[in-house]
Chain A
């Protein structure tokens, strides 16, 4: 564990050095992410200037939901997105060979190899939106709800990671996963705009059970507004555990099927 943490610290140092070589991309990522974030806020403002609630969720709850999703997205973009996203190209090109020959878990190295601190300020902005949403909501959260919220943000970030790893493990078996990645992007976009409680029937089944993008921001938002039952919390925790086990097993299965590429 200590060795892994030390290794991640060295990767972070190297990434920082790398980012400082390219000054424009160091600040560029932040401007792109901030713009997307602001666009989304503008969209919600436009919607709530016309309606009072979406699926029984008030403006305050929706702001908490949007802030929570942005927070998850910011954690994703800062910590692991760029590392995990590079997995398919490394598998296809054979560059993955070197990851297998080093005495460190290849997934751990890939996950933390491209930490992007340019997106880190978005974490703070997102927290700001959640706090603002709480004030619009007109209530205050108990310390227990706040603590549980933080725990579930971390768990949902893990779930988000699991979903990304599952999709990016597919190139061990198939040639192209571009369409699946596009589908992932579309589903994520949808679930970023609509809280999970709005989904009914088959959509609820899809976004709560099969591809649980629908619970990622909804559950923490429900926790901090204290509008979720203990069963809902337990259900969300079980989903995270199941998907984590599934992602790690699928990854290991993929490793055994790695064919490398001709040199």
Chain B
């Protein structure tokens, strides 16, 4: 095995069995005697390899299988079939020697103690991972300085903003110098400033410490600015695995534009645009990338616009396009 290869999965599959019931009381009574189950394949024959020091983005719509993959890589759940190796370990064996070498941050599940201060959680993690005093102090000082959060260390966690809390989550995850960091939607719900700070922090960690980072995110900006390589997942299958720039170059063909009007307006869009939604004072639509300036200039001439927002296309649309255009895995 290549000694730079730290994560490798072959034909990794996870299938869940769900209990199904008809609606209403009769359905409940029937289900008491006749149980009906259905299977859902959350991840199917997934081949995946990660080299040491890589920063990889996992993208895909809700329910695509990204979180399932992260949960199998961290040992939280076991695969149904296939092989999996992370840092040379089988994750679901849950060996402490393995757990000491990675960290996981889940945007929607906190590992901080809400009623206590972040410093209290740092103390617990120091003991948990057996971090020597010197390393703990050095790392803590470095990360606290990088995030500029020294003023929040002794404040009750529940009183912190979502952004401040996520910074603390990242600090606590990195105190023991993990070789691999799994991040599941770390910027979800954060404002633009906090998102930017988190991105800067992660970039620094990846570049300075050589920490391998696997990131799942719905935000294009996270993936574009951080991950050189990305993997697109949909319905448990890998649709794309390659350079992020190449992916966006090829499949992100539109910009999402939202305009608001000063007066009630019925917007007439040119044929090249795709309308997403429209109301009397607001409209959202997609414009082909190369035509953005030209079309917007024309729209401004014809309508009294109050405001314009130009965004990257949503991940879901790109995934949809890849799925429909290729139907094959691009390597």
Interface residues of A (CB under 8 A from B): 3, 6-7, 10-11, 14, 17-18, 21-22, 94-95, 97-98, 100-104, 255-256, 258-260, 262-263
Q: Mark B57-101, 1 if CB is under 8 A from A, else 0.
A: 000000100010001001111100000000000001010110110
Residue B16 CB within 8 A of the other chain = yes
Which of chain B's residues has its CB closest to A94's CB?
B109
Of B119-127, B242-250, B270-278, the stretch lying at the interface with chain A is: B119-127
- Contact present for B99 and A259 (CB under 8 Å): no
Residue B116 CB within 8 A of the other chain = yes
Residue B108 CB within 8 A of the other chain = yes
The smallest C-beta distance from B302 to any residue of chain A, in angstroms, reads 44
- Contact present for A98 and B109 (CB under 8 Å): yes
Q: How far apart are the CA atoms of A54 and B257 in the complex, in Å?
A: 83
Q: How far apart are the CA atoms of A97 and B106 in the complex, in Å?
A: 10
The smallest C-beta distance from A150 to any residue of chain B, in angstroms, reads 30
The residues of B that contact A98 with a CB separation of less than 8 Å are 104, 106, 109, 111
- Contact present for B116 and A21 (CB under 8 Å): yes
- Contact present for A17 and B116 (CB under 8 Å): yes
Knowing A255-B94, A260-B71, A263-B67 are in contact, say whether A97-B109 is a contact too (CB < 8 A): yes
Q: How far apart are the CA atoms of A258 and B129 in the complex, in Å?
A: 24
- Contact present for B74 and A101 (CB under 8 Å): yes
| Among candidates B67, B75, B102, B120, residue contacting A14 with C-beta atoms closer than 8 Å | B120
Q: How far apart are the CA atoms of A98 and B63 in the complex, in Å?
A: 21
Q: How far apart are the CA atoms of A95 and B107 in the complex, in Å?
A: 12
What are 8 of the A-B contact pairs (CB < 8 Å)?
A97-B71, A98-B106, A103-B129, A255-B94, A256-B78, A259-B16, A260-B71, A263-B108
- Contact present for B76 and A7 (CB under 8 Å): no
- Contact present for A7 and B127 (CB under 8 Å): yes
- Contact present for A104 and B128 (CB under 8 Å): yes
- Contact present for B77 and A6 (CB under 8 Å): no
Interface residues of B (CB under 8 A from A): 16, 63, 67, 71, 74-78, 92, 94, 96-97, 99-100, 102-104, 106-109, 111, 113, 115-116, 120, 123-124, 127-130, 156, 184-185
The residues of A that contact B127 with a CB separation of less than 8 Å are 6-7, 10
The residues of B that contact A262 with a CB separation of less than 8 Å are 63, 67
The residues of A that contact B99 with a CB separation of less than 8 Å are 101-103
Q: How far apart are the CA atoms of A259 and B71 in the complex, in Å?
A: 10
- Contact present for A101 and B116 (CB under 8 Å): no
Q: How far apart are the CA atoms of A11 and B120 in the complex, in Å?
A: 10
6 additional contacts, CB 8 Å, given A6-B127, A260-B71?
A17-B116, A95-B109, A100-B76, A103-B99, A103-B129, A104-B128
- Contact present for A104 and B96 (CB under 8 Å): yes
The residues of A that contact B107 with a CB separation of less than 8 Å are 263
Q: How far apart are the CA atoms of A18 and B117 in the complex, in Å?
A: 10
The 8 closest A-B pairs by CB, nearest first: A103-B96, A103-B99, A10-B127, A103-B100, A98-B111, A97-B76, A263-B108, A21-B115
Q: How far apart are the CA atoms of A161 and B257 in the complex, in Å?
A: 60
- Contact present for B76 and A103 (CB under 8 Å): no
Which of chain A's residues has its CB closest to B123's CB?
A10
- Contact present for A7 and B128 (CB under 8 Å): yes
Which of chain B's residues has its CB closest to A22's CB?
B115
Knowing A18-B113, A95-B109, A263-B109 are in contact, say whether A102-B128 is a contact too (CB < 8 A): yes
Which of chain B's residues has its CB closest to A102's CB?
B128
Q: Which of B94, B96, B102 has the most CB of A within 10 A?
A: B94
